[in-house]
Structure 1
Amino acid sequence: MAAKQQSQLPSKEASLFRHLVQNYESKQYKKGLKNAEQILKKHPKHGDTQAMKALILSNQGKNDEAFALCKVALANSMKSNVCWHVYGLLWRQIKNYQEAMKAYKMALNLDPDSTQIQRDLAHLQVQMRDYNGFVQTRRKMLQAKPQFRQNWTALAVALHLSGDLAGAEDVLQKFEQTLEKNPPPKSDIEHAEAVLYKNTIIAEEGELERALEHVEGLYKSALDKTSVMEYKADYLLRLDRKADAEAAYRLLLARNQEKREYYEALEKALGLDRSKSEDQEKLLQMYQSFADQSERIDAARRIPLDFLEGDAFRKHAEQYLRRMFSKGIPSTFANVKQLYSDPAKKQTLRELAEKLLSEQPSANGDAAPAQANGSIDGASKPQKSDPTTTWQLSVNYFLAQHYDYHLSRDLAKAQQYIDKAISLNPSETDYTYQMTRARILKHQGSVSKASKTMNDAREMDLKDRYINTKCAKYQLRNNEHDTAVSTMGLFTRKEAVGGPLGDLTDMQCVWFLTEDGESYLRQGRLSLALKRFKTVYDVFETWTDDQFDFHSFSLRKGMVRAYVDMIRWEDGLREHPFFSRAALSAIRVYCMLFDKPELASQSHLNGVAGESNAEKKKAAKKARKEAERVEAEKKAKAAKAPQPKADDEGSVKKEDTDPNGLELVKTDKPLEEAMKYVAPLLELSPKTLEHQIAGFGVFIRRKKYLPALKCLLAARALDPSHPRCHELSGRLQFALQNFSEPLPEKAQSVVDATFLSTLPSQPIADVNEAFLQANKDSAPHVHSAVRLRYALKADEEARKRGVQDLLASLGAEGTSWEEALEGLRVLGEIEADAEARGEYVKAARERWGQAEVFVVS
């Protein structure tokens, strides 16, 4: 790093500088600072030493001091590649990659042959997906050191990612030619992986014949024989060499008889079409031939249910269910629930299960008619060894799950069947059935009973981590934060800083953080809710930054196929469901803070929506006093507490200065903060309706009408009949009509052509009332109409009419308790008073008596 500048120092200080660099690389920061001070004592304007000292300070968490010192170093040594390199490293540490890249390029201009600067620049370029720059840097590194295989492979990867497949193959081919005189040993995994990687590139180029010829020569020498066999079978199938493809997939099935992809490919190789009745019998024979090979094979018995219809389906389904029930396999319903999208198959499976309920297994494992074994309401437990126990238990459990499933839901029947299954369960440690009972209670809205039942299931096997985490999830759904943390604490590190919650955060347990945040949001504790959602956001940021470790590691270890897969996976990282959930909830909180800034001071209290003015003033006063008390206690505690100590390497662990999220809710730019969550949702998951609705909500508040229109049009394209599309359309039309300034000419023409010209000529309010009358039996449509009415004119009349419409929606036949709960939230949005909310809750409880979720906020 410091080759050019060391010559400016006398030999003693030059030696100290070399030690300084070694101290930094080995993370001996205290020694490094000591050496730096010794040099600067005699040479106070030595820029390289100042830069290295700045780098150490940055690693100790002193970023401001580090930047200030590095700028001084640059002023003293503007032409030092070391100073510019360090300056880039400082920018990279605070994730300003554009500035870091500029600094690296300046350093390279001063020292074009520096391998370390080139490597750091290459890692930053691939991190930023600057593939063209990545190719240029890697080409220079290869030209400088062509003797290292890693440089050849890295250039091939760079060309591959940039889309130059032919160039990538050519690089790998040229390096293989250099090995002809001294071939690597067969155990060389780096070479084996590079050869397979080359094969995937040839296939991506579309040259399947050449890829097939290449892969056929690899089987004997390949270390990953499964991949070689899969590639060969895939190429044969795509080349329409069906006989050879059939043989290849049969060989793969001999290795793994449960992989669906192999069976589906074999069907294509045999030229069989599932939709053709004449082929279904042949397919059934094929699958039966695999099933006959072993009693343990499930896939060959289950897959025919996907394509069989009518009597053939009934016959095969009965055979399948009999086998599963006689074996007592709890996952039977999970195996077949995908079939429920077909109403006929759903009905057939229910009829078969109810028919088999009155039968018992015979000696050969099938079932034979028998007298009913007690009533569904309960029976004495048979002995564990009795095969009838297994049969009855399995059928009752299947029916319980059937009636709990959302496509066939009848929770009263589900409760009956699970109670019978529990009465038949001979095991004192099998929590499966208690867990399903808890799930049924959850779907009934009995969250406290569900939490208690899930805890009973947990106590049946205290050593099982899965049921422990499941229990914690249900406790969070019941807003039992402390209990859930204690439950998770049974499996976290006892010595973890911050207790169980600190360990869960360190271990990036996103499901817990998301559920915890949603729990706080339900309670109206916005600061803690926002803190959890921000933590989830930071976890995904960390996963993005973790790529830096693999840019070097994967190439050094030769795992290039996995590396390319990782790069492509990272590109869609924020499509992850937990990021979506946390982001949507965070956006909702920020929109609430924008609409009602006073919520920031009330965020630790329950019931932030819909209070009277007197209640709001009282709550705000109480909140201020509480905040002042907490702040005073925090300052006193900080004064007494010892300063954070550096670890053995001299670095200080960053402390969370806002553990309760109070600073997050005090933001004066909530919509700008919301955009941090909106942008990745719209960029990576634009085909999700909820994401477009959330984006519209932020853009309309920011008065960014063209982006809002884009979200609306995208939502309409996804589901034009969705009630929120009507609501958003009305809100945008109203906003455009009441905009204080005219839109720019081009923007206005776009709005006219794509939006305003498609609207009816009647006033928005009239269109909304007509929409409400046409859809008064649908609770989601009523919710949208009520929200839009209040957005058009937030007066007492709109509020009263909204309350009446929401009350009427409770009586609609198709309304679920989940939709009724959403109606309670709408009451808060239109600022209904406590009396109206109490009336709504009372009506909801009368219809859904078991649902405990209806409370007056």
Structure 2
Amino acid sequence: MPVVLSGKEQSLFRTVVRNYEDKQYKKGIKAAEQILKKNPKHGDTLAMKALCMNSQGKTEEAFALAKVALTCDMKSHVCWHVYGLLWRAVKNFEEAIKAYKFALRLEPESVQIQRDLALLQVQMRDYQGYLVSRRAMLAARSTIRQSWTALAVAQHLSGDLAQAEGVLTSYEETLKNPPSKTDFENSEAVMYKNSLIAEQGDYQRALEHLESAGKHNLDRLAVFELRATYLTKLDRTEEATKAYRALIDRNSEYKTYYDGLIKAMGVAPTDHKAMIAVYDEYAEKYPRCDAARRLPLDFLEGDDFKAAADKYINRMLDKGVPSTFANLKHLYSSDFKKEVLPSLVQQYIDSGKSEKSEEPKRNGDTSKGASAAFYFLAQHYNYYLSRDLDKAMDFIDKAIELEPKSVDFHMTKARIWKHYGNTQKASEIMELARTLDTRDRHINTKAAKYQLRNNESEAALKTMGMFTRAETVGGPLADLHDMQCVWFLTEDGQSYARQGKTGLALKRFTSIFNIFDVWQEDQFDFHSFSLRKGQIRAYVDMIRWEDQLREHPFYSRAALSAIEVYIKIADKPLLNGSNGTAGLSEEDAAEQRKAAKKARKEAQKAEREALAKKNEPNKSTREGDNDPKKKDDDPEGIKLAATTEPMNDAMKFLTPLLQFSPKNIDVQLAGFEVFIRRKKYVLALKCLLAAAALDREHSKVHSQSIRFKLALDKELDTINPKTAEVIKSEFNLIPASVPLAKFNDEYLSKHKDCARRTLSGLTTRRLLSPDASPSVEKDIVDILKFPTVTSEEATEAYEVLKSWKSSEVDTFKSSATQTWPKATIFA
């Protein structure tokens, strides 16, 4: 039987609820204890006390108390609601939904429980459940626009566009007076309804709705853009042309408007004369417009291109615009344009036009034209499609001689050194560039990135500290974590991985994984906020973006790096278990044992501290602090590096990659490496076939195919017969009748001019015939003689020889140094 409170105690219970809402948790607990003295089994009070305790960071005690509350009163909707809130606080949304549904059965009329349930359903993408919840909420509060809009969104997300539009129409029909023209919520609702009509493909009706309901909409730009789009799709040429001309008059630098205008005018993509007439018109109308002069270079060819490019380049260089090359480098996909552009710049230099130009220079300096021209050529020869680093260095030195305090010029010089392979010199030059403008955050981050590439972790952190908050507890690194500075954490992690500091590397990559989790969870607040503020179109865009969040390159890069580290741990468990470099020579054996002993002691100490902290009573936090900071019990990543199941840990990073980036060949290759070590042969084959579908001749696809065949032959007896049959029928990358050695030799012969594929074939030959190791190692040294070999490919070969402890390492290093004398890795 539920305990019934007296009138005084009921008033005290309302005080507990009010204290919780006001974040006065100590007062709330004190008031709850007053009630519990007389009624120790009052479930609702126990539940509210648990909620206050959870807000103070006492999660375990709060769950224990909530379970006691449920045993005292299983039929209390408050107890079940609180139980759901506790699960929501620890991000276990499935359990929270179960608790909310139970609470709702007990109290079907509760608006708060219904709202909490709906928010979790959309967070978990349970659109059908969300639809049911929103219908119930609309029935309860049908006079509020937000209820109707939310139901329309639920219909939209579940894929029923017509029903979503119908819901918005039904609400409009209930209005007795038209909304004010300045009503932002109505303005957004009208545009949202218009997007629903257009998404159904009914552009005629969408246009009519836009010109009637959206005529005076507050988002004027969206109205103009949509109107132009609809008119074009409906082939109303004259009106569409007029609409796009109006848009260009608003923003003459936006390429999409020019494309829309040309399409609306019915100009064929091959009719260059008509297209150039459009651009010339706006170039004359807007003398300072860059887009109208630059965009024709995309489609012009031959002498027409040369004339237009000459005119554009002269204009830009006369002004001394540093971004000229950045504006034009996309044209380098054409061999003709790639040759013409630098020749025009060279002509500009030779003709001495810089001194004759009447264009206004930056700061009135007449040398700006010449320095901009030298800068263009330096970038040209530094670009990967036209690389000649010696020429690039020559031109950037000439530019710096004219403008010794230019940050841009020094940044490019640092990039040239980076492409030489000299990370130390690149870092020094970028640091010099930073000192030329200490108030520029961009050059500050560039300097830090180059320091990390040179494995100067402490210096990079100090550089970043110039722009972080000085008062942050934990220093610059803590602030970078708080600010979710993903690029820094990624570069820092990769730097530690190169240094062999596995624990710190995994610590950084795990931080990035957690940041993406936070971004996933942060949308929770927007489910209610966006509806309350009426920002429906932005909300739907956010939902769709969140659905594809982990296909972002930031995640892919960090996850692949983490998987690579875990694979190394699996292949050769760390001798020291943490952040020291595991030397391979016998001389370092004593050092390794000492480091391993120290790491074990640190790990044991960390575990003892964590256990002691777990057992001691939780200390209450300050009032109003509902997000207490947790102390990191593994700041050095010792526990992460000491994992006994690295492949299981790697799966945490791999699973989202395979789900969201299946077309990334590096993801499929990494998937194979993980699954083959876990002896999940069907999944390994799936990744291998996916990679082969993307690039059958890829160097790693070749080596992995042979490794898979070897593993299959070795483990055939241990594999389930039906599974083995499926694998044999699907694995078609190597003909069954061809010996592996012959298959590998054919691959080598086919790609005898490609350094990376030759390296793959040679490492595979050594795998198939260990006795051939000496000749294979010599053949790897001969890769340096390939005319197209790059420093990156040479580095890969060098690392392979080092991992084999080859006697040819010094020979390779000596030869590589002659070819790339400035590269630090061969120094």
Q: CA deviation at 1:108?
A: 1.1
Q: 1:116 aligns with which of 112, 126, 140?
A: 112
Q: 1:628 aligns with which of 586, 601, 605?
A: 601
Q: CA deviation at 1:280?
A: 0.3
Tell me, in whole angstroms, the C-alpha distance in 2 between the residues paired with 1:152 and 1:820: 63
* Alignment correspondent of 2:141: 145
* Alignment correspondent of 1:21: 17
Tell me, in whole angstroms, the C-alpha distance in 2 between the residues paired with 1:434 and 1:703: 51
Tell me, in whole angstroms, the C-alpha distance in 1 between the residues paired with 2:790 and 2:228: 49
Question: Aligned partner of 2:182: which letter?
Answer: S
Q: 2:796 aligns with which of 809, 813, 822?
A: 822
Question: Aligned partner of 1:57: which letter?
Answer: M
Q: CA deviation at 1:843?
A: 2.9
* Alignment correspondent of 2:636: 660
* Alignment correspondent of 1:374: none
Matched-pair contact (CA < 8 Å) for 2:318–2:354? no
Matched-pair contact (CA < 8 Å) for 1:322–1:366? no
Unaligned runs of 5+ in 2: none
Tell me, in whole angstroms, the C-alpha distance in 1 between the residues paired with 2:604 and 2:389: 49
Q: 1:160 aligns with which of 146, 156, 170?
A: 156
Tell me, in whole angstroms, the C-alpha distance in 2 between the residues paired with 1:18 and 1:48: 11
Q: 1:310 aligns with which of 302, 314, 320?
A: 302
Q: 1:512 aligns with which of 484, 488, 510?
A: 488
Question: Aligned partner of 2:389: which letter?
Answer: L
* Alignment correspondent of 2:191: 196
Question: Aligned partner of 1:291: which letter?
Answer: A
Question: Aligned partner of 1:647: which letter?
Answer: R
Cα deviation code 1:724-755 (max 9, x no counterpart): 11112111111111115354455344323331
Q: 2:554 aligns with which of 572, 575, 578?
A: 578
- Is 2:325 aligned against 1:349? no
- Is 2:679 aligned against 1:703? yes
* Alignment correspondent of 2:130: 134
Matched-pair contact (CA < 8 Å) for 1:218–1:228? no
Number of aligned residue pairs: give it.
823
Tell me, in whole angstroms, the C-alpha distance in 2 between the residues paired with 1:502 and 1:82: 39
Tell me, in whole angstroms, the C-alpha distance in 2 between the residues paired with 1:801 and 1:93: 62
| Secondary structure of 2:179's aligned partner | coil
Tell me, in whole angstroms, the C-alpha distance in 1 between the residues paired with 2:311 and 2:474: 54
Cα deviation code 1:687-745 (max 9, x no counterpart): 11111111111111111112211111111111112111111211111111111535445
- Is 2:566 aligned against 1:590? yes
Q: 1:466 aligns with which of 411, 435, 442?
A: 442
Q: CA deviation at 1:570?
A: 0.7
Unaligned runs of 5+ in 1: 368-381
Tell me, in whole angstroms, the C-alpha distance in 2 between the residues paired with 1:328 and 1:14: 77
Q: CA deviation at 1:561?
A: 0.4
TM-score by length of 2: 0.95
* Alignment correspondent of 2:426: 450
For 1:645-656, what aligned pairs fall within 5 Å after superposition?
Answer: 646-649=621-624, 651=626, 652-656=628-632
CA gap of 1:549–1:84, structure 2 versus 1, over 3 A, is: same
* Alignment correspondent of 1:806: 780
Matched-pair contact (CA < 8 Å) for 2:577–2:600? no
TM-score by length of 1: 0.92
Tell me, in whole angstroms, the C-alpha distance in 2 between the residues paired with 1:93 and 1:789: 55
Matched-pair contact (CA < 8 Å) for 1:323–1:366? no
CA gap of 1:614–1:83, structure 2 versus 1, over 3 A, is: farther
Matched-pair contact (CA < 8 Å) for 1:454–1:471? yes
* Alignment correspondent of 2:182: 187
Tell me, in whole angstroms, the C-alpha distance in 2 between the residues paired with 1:326 and 1:235: 42
| Secondary structure of 2:352's aligned partner | strand
* Alignment correspondent of 1:319: 311
Matched-pair contact (CA < 8 Å) for 1:243–1:270? yes
Tell me, in whole angstroms, the C-alpha distance in 2 between the residues paired with 1:529 and 1:704: 27
Matched-pair contact (CA < 8 Å) for 1:29–1:650? no
Tell me, in whole angstroms, the C-alpha distance in 2 between the residues paired with 1:449 and 1:827: 26
Tell me, in whole angstroms, the C-alpha distance in 1 between the residues paired with 2:775 and 2:8: 86
| Secondary structure of 1:853's aligned partner | helix
Cα deviation code 1:448-484 (max 9, x no counterpart): 1111111111111111111111111111111111111
CA gap of 1:532–1:563, structure 2 versus 1, over 3 A, is: same
- Is 2:394 aligned against 1:416? yes
For 1:281-320, what aligned pairs fall within 5 Å after superposition?
Answer: 281-320=273-312
Q: CA deviation at 1:423?
A: 0.6
Tell me, in whole angstroms, the C-alpha distance in 1 between the residues paired with 2:466 and 2:53: 38
Q: CA deviation at 1:218?
A: 4.0
Question: Aligned partner of 1:412: which letter?
Answer: D
For 1:430-441, what aligned pairs fall within 5 Å after superposition?
Answer: 430-441=406-417
Matched-pair contact (CA < 8 Å) for 2:577–2:638? no
CA gap of 1:216–1:707, structure 2 versus 1, over 3 A, is: same
Q: CA deviation at 1:494?
A: 0.4
CA gap of 1:822–1:52, structure 2 versus 1, over 3 A, is: farther
Cα deviation code 1:386-418 (max 9, x no counterpart): 53x122111100000000000100000000000
Q: 2:760 aligns with which of 764, 784, 807?
A: 784
CA gap of 1:644–1:577, structure 2 versus 1, over 3 A, is: farther
* Alignment correspondent of 1:221: 216
CA gap of 1:135–1:444, structure 2 versus 1, over 3 A, is: same
Q: CA deviation at 1:302?
A: 0.7
* Alignment correspondent of 1:91: 87
Q: CA deviation at 1:42?
A: 1.9
Tell me, in whole angstroms, the C-alpha distance in 2 between the residues paired with 1:770 and 1:182: 80
Q: 1:232 aligns with which of 208, 227, 230?
A: 227
- Is 2:46 aligned against 1:50? yes
- Is 2:399 aligned against 1:399? no
Matched-pair contact (CA < 8 Å) for 1:526–1:603? yes
Tell me, in whole angstroms, the C-alpha distance in 2 between the residues paired with 1:212 and 1:616: 77
Tell me, in whole angstroms, the C-alpha distance in 2 between the residues paired with 1:57 and 1:845: 65
Question: Aligned partner of 2:813: which letter?
Answer: V
* Alignment correspondent of 1:615: 588
Tell me, in whole angstroms, the C-alpha distance in 1 between the residues paired with 2:217 and 2:336: 48
CA gap of 1:67–1:616, structure 2 versus 1, over 3 A, is: farther
Q: CA deviation at 1:219?
A: 5.0
Matched-pair contact (CA < 8 Å) for 2:778–2:808? no
Question: Aligned partner of 2:395: which letter?
Answer: Y
For 1:200-279, what aligned pairs fall within 5 Å after superposition?
Answer: 200-274=195-269, 276=270, 279=271
Question: Aligned partner of 2:580: which letter?
Answer: L
Tell me, in whole angstroms, the C-alpha distance in 1 between the residues paired with 2:617 and 2:357: 71
Tell me, in whole angstroms, the C-alpha distance in 1 between the residues paired with 2:322 and 2:735: 54
* Alignment correspondent of 2:579: 604
Tell me, in whole angstroms, the C-alpha distance in 2 between the residues paired with 1:562 and 1:453: 43
Matched-pair contact (CA < 8 Å) for 1:55–1:90? yes
Matched-pair contact (CA < 8 Å) for 1:169–1:201? yes
Cα deviation code 1:146-174 (max 9, x no counterpart): 11111111110010011000110011011
Cα deviation code 1:480-523 (max 9, x no counterpart): 11111111111110010110000000000000000000100111
* Alignment correspondent of 1:375: none
Tell me, in whole angstroms, the C-alpha distance in 2 between the residues paired with 1:846 and 1:760: 44
Tell me, in whole angstroms, the C-alpha distance in 1 between the residues paired with 2:258 and 2:173: 39
Cα deviation code 1:733-779 (max 9, x no counterpart): 11111115354455344323331485252222332244234434422
Tell me, in whole angstroms, the C-alpha distance in 1 between the residues paired with 2:391 and 2:26: 69
Matched-pair contact (CA < 8 Å) for 2:734–2:743? no
Matched-pair contact (CA < 8 Å) for 2:578–2:599? no
CA gap of 1:503–1:157, structure 2 versus 1, over 3 A, is: same
Question: Aligned partner of 2:339: which letter?
Answer: Q
Tell me, in whole angstroms, the C-alpha distance in 1 between the residues paired with 2:659 and 2:811: 43
Q: CA deviation at 1:84?
A: 1.6
Matched-pair contact (CA < 8 Å) for 2:603–2:638? no
- Is 2:824 aligned against 1:852? yes
Matched-pair contact (CA < 8 Å) for 1:602–1:619? no
- Is 2:521 aligned against 1:545? yes
Q: CA deviation at 1:648?
A: 2.9
Tell me, in whole angstroms, the C-alpha distance in 2 between the residues paired with 1:363 and 1:154: 65
Matched-pair contact (CA < 8 Å) for 2:501–2:578? yes
Identity of aligned residues (%): 52
Question: Aligned partner of 1:331: which letter?
Answer: S
Question: Aligned partner of 1:846: which letter?
Answer: Q
* Alignment correspondent of 1:373: none
